[in-house]
Amino acid sequence: MAEFETVRRTGAGVRTAQVDEGLRAHMNKVYGLMAMAMVITGAAAWAVAGLAVSDVPTQYQIGADTFLTSFGVAIYASPLKWVIMLAPLAVVFGMSAGINRLSEAGLQGVFWLFSALMGLSLSSIFLVFTGYSIVQVFLVTAIAFAGLSLWGYTTKKDISAWGSFLVMGVIGLIVAMLVNIFLASPAVTFAISAIGVLIFAGLTAYDTQKIKTTYLEMRGTEGEAYLGKAAIMGALSLYLDFINMFMFLLQLFGNRN
How far is residue 78's CA from residue 73's CA, in Å, rounded to a whole number?
6
Contacts of 78 by beta carbon, 8 Å cutoff, 6+ apart: none
Q: How many domains would you assign to the chain?
A: 1
Structural domain including 219 reads: 2-253
Q: What pLDDT is attached to residue 232?
A: 95
Q: What pLDDT is attached to residue 2?
A: 46
Q: How confident is the model at residue 12 (pLDDT cuts 50, 70, 90)?
A: very low
How far is residue 72's CA from residue 59's CA, in Å, rounded to a whole number?
12
pLDDT digits (tens, 9 = 90+) for 159-184: 999 999 999 999 999 999 999 889 88
* 117-121, 169-173, 214-218: the lowest-pLDDT one: 214-218
How far is residue 214's CA from residue 211's CA, in Å, rounded to a whole number?
5
Instruction: Provide the β-strand partners of residue 256.
Output: 129
Answer whether residue 26 shows pLDDT above 60.
yes
User: 230: which DSSP letter?
Assistant: H
